[in-house]
Amino acid sequence: MLVKTQGFYWTVIILVFLNTVCVAVEHHTQPDWLTHFLMYTEVVFLVLFMSEMGIKMYGLGMKYYFMSAFNKFDCVVIFGSIFEVLWYKVTQDSFGFSVLRALRLLRIFKITKYWSSLRNLVISLLNSMRSIVSLLFLLFLFILIFALLGMQLFGGKWNFEQGRPAQHFDTFPMALMTVFQILTGEDWNEVMYNGIISHGGIHDKGMAFSLYFVVLVLFGNYTLLNVFLAIAVDNLANAQELTAKEEEEAEENERRRCMQIKKIQEEYHQRTGQLLPRSEAALQAEAMFPVQEEVKVIEVKTDVADENKPPPAVPGNTPKPMLEYSSLYIFSPTNRLRQLCHFVVNLRFFDMFIMIVILASSIALAAEDPVRGSMSKKNNWLSIMDYIFTGVFTIELLLKIIDLGLILHPKAYMRDAWNILDALVVVCALIAFAFQGEEASSSASKNLSTIKSLRVLRVLRPLKTINRVPKLKAVFDCVVHSLKNVVNILVVYWLFQFIFAVIAVQLFKGKFFYCTDESKKVEADCH
């Protein structure tokens, strides 16, 4: 079927992209030719999207077409665009700004239909919106009560010498906006200071009125709004699991369809003695196992370990076996020096000792005086300690390289990213120390200062603790793993940001200006 081909899919995506570009290029003081061009392109895109909808309706049938939420969304956007175009043709007016134009911008979300992980993220966000309807009503009541209370406390009292501030409680609509601004954290302390000053300042009873703003921020911002975030995170946690479940179901469905195609071909061959083309068999199998167009929320349950189940067996304090190859192509497994290095790095308290040195090194870095520099006796002592710390880390580096090898062998030292970080910190510190006491000419002093700047990498030493604490490393790996989903979240965030940016252009283009001559109401007259 045409609607299920890759060509049709990419054609729709390209049309959505071009339509989005045309909507985004509109701007203030744009030339007349661009205005007319955008009008004609909007009609062309509307016809193309109507054709897409018609092809889908004919190919899938009306019943299967409207089974998909994405197809319903397309239908609403298209009919809304048709109504806006007809309204403009009849009245030559597009409402100044049309809500239907905002609907057209939502076409960009059509890409989520073909991007499974992004689609599941959007579905999780929508599910979270359904969960916070009651919380939204509670938040509205909270804002309403504090807006009314603010009018009672501060209404008509913010008439300062420099004029009334933009945020005030003189009217109910502005009181609502002021409370909402405080909840968002946008310059709320300035609003609080105005409230304090309006009641006599800090030396009078004005400080008592600061409790209004403190309570508003604590209960509104740090409690209610964070509950919204908690609900969203709870729903987003299922997005990745939903994607994996969907992939498994798609693979299973495809396997069943392939088996059905083979069965249909065999039955046809037995009945007629001829071979049925695979395309016809696929169409028959499609009717029995249709490709799912809509993703439904799937409850993913995790297995809970039985509390009575005994823990897995823990191996004893058996020594870690040495790698069989010759490290650095010099030290064989029977080499006494390598055996000694292997014994030392695998001692029970070796990592604990390195952890203590890392901790002491971090404390020494924090104790340095960056203002007095070499003039400080404390810095001179800390510099000596830094030599000792770097020497310990260098010895650790050499012991592990002799034990594991450098990079060419499997499981070699430099094949671990954490070991590369350790080696980078140590090598940069050694290079800086090598040139620290060097007296250079003015031409070479720049290179000397550049090399000394490598000592800044000492601040990475605390990161060495991550690889040595299993629980800390597990948390870090979890954070890194979660960064994969951040990409999808950023895409959704960018889509919303783009949509509201275009809407802002439609609403406010050419209106954010003022003239020093108040009699001039038009920008051109002001110039």
All residues at 6 or more sequence positions from 357 whose CB lies less than 8 Å from its CB, including other chains? 389, 392, 393
98 has a pLDDT exceeding 70: no
If asked whether residues 463 and 476 sit together in one domain, one would say no
Q: Is 341 exposed, middle or buried (0-12, 13-18, 19+ CB in 10 A)?
A: buried
Domain-located, residue 123: no
Cα dihedral 513, 517, 522, 527 sign: negative
Residue 440 is predicted with a pLDDT of: 43
Residue 246 is predicted with a pLDDT of: 63
Residue 174 is predicted with a pLDDT of: 92
Residue 398 is predicted with a pLDDT of: 93
Phi, psi of 331 (to 5 degrees): -95, 110
SS3 string, 82-95, reads: HHHHHHHHHHCCCC
Look at 129-133, 450-454, 513-517 and tell me which has the smallest mean pLDDT.
450-454
Q: Which residue has the higher pLDDT, 449 or 18?
A: 18
Provide the residue type at 481 as one letter. H
Domain-located, residue 499: yes
Q: Which residue has the higher pLDDT, 185 or 287?
A: 185
Averaged pLDDT score across all residues of the chain: 76
Q: Which residue has the higher pLDDT, 66 or 484?
A: 66
Domain-located, residue 329: no
Domain count, the chain: 4
Confidence of residue 56 (pLDDT cuts 50, 70, 90): confident
Domain-located, residue 257: yes
If asked whether residues 105 and 147 sit together in one domain, one would say no
If asked whether residues 160 and 172 sit together in one domain, one would say yes
If asked whether residues 358 and 446 sit together in one domain, one would say yes
If asked whether residues 285 and 153 sit together in one domain, one would say yes
Range of the domain at 457: 336-468
Domain end: 447, 468, 489, which one?
Answer: 468
51 has a pLDDT exceeding 70: yes
Domain-located, residue 122: no
All residues at 6 or more sequence positions from 170 whose CB lies less than 8 Å from its CB, including other chains? 151, 155, 156, 158, 164
How is the chain split among helix, strand and coil, in percent rounded to 5? 75, 0, 25
How many other CB atoms sit within 10 Å of the CB of residue 201? 12
- Which pTM was predicted? 0.51
Distances from the Cα of 341 to the Cα of 53, 55, 353, 394, angstroms:
71, 72, 16, 13
Residue 247 is predicted with a pLDDT of: 62
If asked whether residues 227 and 99 sit together in one domain, one would say no
If asked whether residues 275 and 369 sit together in one domain, one would say no
How many angstroms separate the CA atoms of 127 and 132, rounded?
Answer: 9
Domain end: 291, 306, 322, which one?
Answer: 291
Contact 12, 74 (CB under 8 A): no
If asked whether residues 146 and 274 sit together in one domain, one would say yes
DSSP letters spanning 448-470: HHHHHGGGGGGGGGGGGGGGG-H
Look at 99-113, 198-212, 396-410, 442-456 and tell me which has the smallest mean pLDDT.
442-456
Mean pLDDT of 297-306: 41
Domain end: 291, 323, 345, which one?
Answer: 291
Residue 316 is predicted with a pLDDT of: 46
Mean pLDDT of 134-159: 86
Best-predicted range by mean pLDDT (12-21, 57-66, 95-104, 400-409): 400-409
Cα dihedral 236, 241, 244, 247 sign: negative
107 has a pLDDT exceeding 80: no
Domain-located, residue 296: no
Residue 492 is predicted with a pLDDT of: 72
Domain-located, residue 297: no
Q: Which residue has the higher pLDDT, 126 or 443?
A: 126
Residue 119 is predicted with a pLDDT of: 64
Residue 187 is predicted with a pLDDT of: 84
Look at 7-21, 296-310, 494-508 and tell me which has the smallest mean pLDDT.
296-310
Write out pLDDT tens, residues 332-371.
Answer: 888 889 999 999 988 888 888 988 888 888 888 888 887 7
If asked whether residues 158 and 265 sit together in one domain, one would say yes
Write out pLDDT tens, residues 439-482.
Answer: 444 444 455 455 556 666 677 777 777 777 777 777 777 777 76
If asked whether residues 354 and 453 sit together in one domain, one would say yes
CA atoms within 13 Å, Cβ hemisphere of 221: 15
Domain-located, residue 490: yes
Contact 458, 433 (CB under 8 A): no
If asked whether residues 140 and 287 sit together in one domain, one would say yes
Confidence of residue 7 (pLDDT cuts 50, 70, 90): confident
Residue 482 is predicted with a pLDDT of: 67
Best-predicted range by mean pLDDT (22-36, 280-294, 314-328): 22-36
Write out pLDDT tens, residues 372-414.
Answer: 766 788 888 888 898 898 899 899 999 999 998 888 888 888 8
If asked whether residues 277 and 138 sit together in one domain, one would say yes
Residue 82 sits in a domain of what CATH number? 1.20.120.350
> Percentage of residues in the chain with pLDDT exceeding 90?
7
Best-predicted range by mean pLDDT (279-293, 382-396, 424-438): 382-396
Mean pLDDT of 324-330: 86
